[in-house]
Every structure is written in structure tokens, then in C-alpha cells.
Amino acid sequence: MILFETMKWCHLVVFCTTLIMLVVKHKGYHNLGQTMHALIVVPLAMTMTLLAIFIVKFNSDEWTKPGQLTEVRAWIIIDCYLFFTYIISGVIFTTIAYLVKFNPTAKNEELLLMDDNPWNDKDTEDFLRHLKLEFFVFCYFLASLILDIAMGFFKGRDFGAGPKDWHPT
């Protein structure tokens, strides 16, 4: 299956590029790291994900027939669901963080105000940049929860991942 091979290699390239980007940023070349991320990781990951979503949507009726779903097809379907659960969890976090006026747990506001860089202050930047760690952690766990619920109780039934016996004998 061409889609599986494409996704496998794209995942590998995205992972390796992300590691290289982190090393480059650690060495002090932040602009180079961001440029690598913007030019390689984002377009490759988005192209791969949108292609997978298109193919799953195009073939979903055939793939979910009894005996037609393989492990590779199930993995691609779950990957598409995960993409949408990350979007939903990001929307939920952004709404809650904006309404409740979250403060970062990983940054000390007093230390940021005392440094020489005025652009590090909370009021001079996007609030999501200020809450980056909290955003990633919240979205990771909420997306996993939503995906588990969706796979376990709803759509997962189409390929044998639906409700299970809570009291096995």
C-alpha cells in the first residue's frame, strides 16, 4: 500500500527533522531551527495527514466491511482521528485558557519582567506562546482521552475496537 509507505517515511523524516531542529535550537541558532520546522516539518506533516484523511474518507465504506480492514488501514484511520482530536482539544484549551486567564506553570512571571528583553513579558506576546507547555500537555492528554472514548465506544465498532465486556468471566 503506497499510502502506508508514504506515511511511514514521512513520520520518520518529521521525527528526525524535529530532533535536528531541537539540537540546532539548543546550539543557539533559533531562527535556523524555526525555519527548518516551517519549511520541512509543517508542510510534510500536513500533506501526509490531509492525504490520509482524503484516502480514508474516499475508501471508508469499503474498508469497514467485514474482513476488509487490515492493521495498516486501522492505523491510518486512527491517525486521522488523532489529527481531529488534537484540533478539538486545542480549541477547548484555547477557549478555557482565554476565559479563565490561565497563568503559566513553567515560567516565573517576576523573572521574565526583570530581564532585559521586553518581548518576553506576558502583555507583549501572544498568550498561547506564553502557555506553550500547558497547551501541549493539555492537548496531548485530552486528545488521547477523546480518541480512547471515540475508538472504544463509538466509531471503533466499525473495525472491532468497540465496547468490550467490563466484567469478563
% residues pLDDT > 70 (the chain) = 74
Mean per-residue pLDDT of the chain = 79
Crossing angle (nearest 10°) for helices 132-153 and 71-100: 130
Q: What is the mean pLDDT of residues 149-153?
A: 77
**Where residue 69 falls among pLDDT bands split at 50, 70, 90?**
confident
- What residues contact 88, with CB distance under 8 A and at least 6 apart? 142, 143, 146
Residue 142: the pLDDT is 93
> Rounded to whole angstroms, what are the CA distances from 86 to 8, 44, 59, 107?
20, 17, 23, 24
Q: Encode pLDDT of 104-138 as tens digits.
A: 676 666 665 666 665 555 555 566 666 778 888 89
Cell numbers 478555557 correspond to 96
Q: Which of 74, 44, 38 is nearest to 56 (CA)?
A: 74
Query: Taking the CA atoms of the chain, what radius of gyration do you get in angstroms?
Result: 20
Residue 165: the pLDDT is 57
Q: What is the mean pLDDT of residues 71-98?
A: 87
